[in-house]
Structure 1
Amino acid sequence: MGLGEPDLGEQALSKAAEVGITQQLDEVEQVNVDIRTDPLKLIQGKVDSVSVTGEGLVMKNSLRMEKLQVDTGSVAINPASAIFGKIELTQSAEADAHVTLTQEDVNQAFNSDYIRNKMQNLTISHPDGMSDRHSGSRCQYSVFRGWQGSSQGSCFDG
């Protein structure tokens, strides 16, 4: 409870969340969950905060994240459905998320069958007003350091 060390209930809840997250991913190098609340709030389906950190998280056919950090304030869930492993928010919640993808992660994702199928006949608009029709062909992306969100890509058949 509060800012100090988590109590036994918080530790058990955090560990259960870690197991749940791990079971939903194809690969996990490391995942840590820190849930803070008091027992009375927990019975009502409310927690004060949730922090999730992870490294080497792989989901859905080779979609990999080098690092993940998600922090929320208070969260309200349906406690009845949570008992059966289904987490349903009963109120909107604010969260800060930071995701780190390596250039290799991005290239592997864009060349996975899952993403290539999703990108079939996708039109990509460029800032200069031009647009390209993507056929789901092989892609190569370069990520520039120093400015968040900057990337360059090219696709080719083959």
Structure 2
Amino acid sequence: MHGSERKDGMHSTPEDDPRPKLWPKVLGSIAIVGFMVGLMIGRITTPDPTRLQQVETTTNGLVLWFNNEPQLHGEHIDGAVALLFNAEGQPQRGELKLEGRDVRWRVQRSDKGLLLNLLAARPLHGDWHGVTEGGRWRLQISLREE
């Protein structure tokens, strides 16, 4: 073989294979199916985001209902009670009576979740505890004046 020119239909380079190349298609299909299965498994195993469902007033505080237990951080700041929840929900506000005096509360969104502020004319002190009840999580906030 001295060159690649054709001599009687014979030459040194093989002709192109007319059959389709299936290996790239098989690998692409496997990749797509694997990606879709991974998305489905991720969707199933991801827990629902924590949501504030309801706020109720009581005689000495508030009751907050969540779909599951949120991370909670609470402080007493200059006579007000502030609670930060790692949860989603709608802004709300209201008022309750504590020993005949008004206490205003407000739930607002913040960059770290929901912020609950309780404010009165006199300094407030609050205690809170949560418990799972009926498939939901209930946070009881008890208030008293200092």
Higher relative contact order (CA 8 A, sep 6+): 2
Identify, as 1 or 2, the structure richer in strand: 2
Identify, as 1 or 2, the structure richer in helix: 1
TM-score normalised over the length of structure 1: 0.25
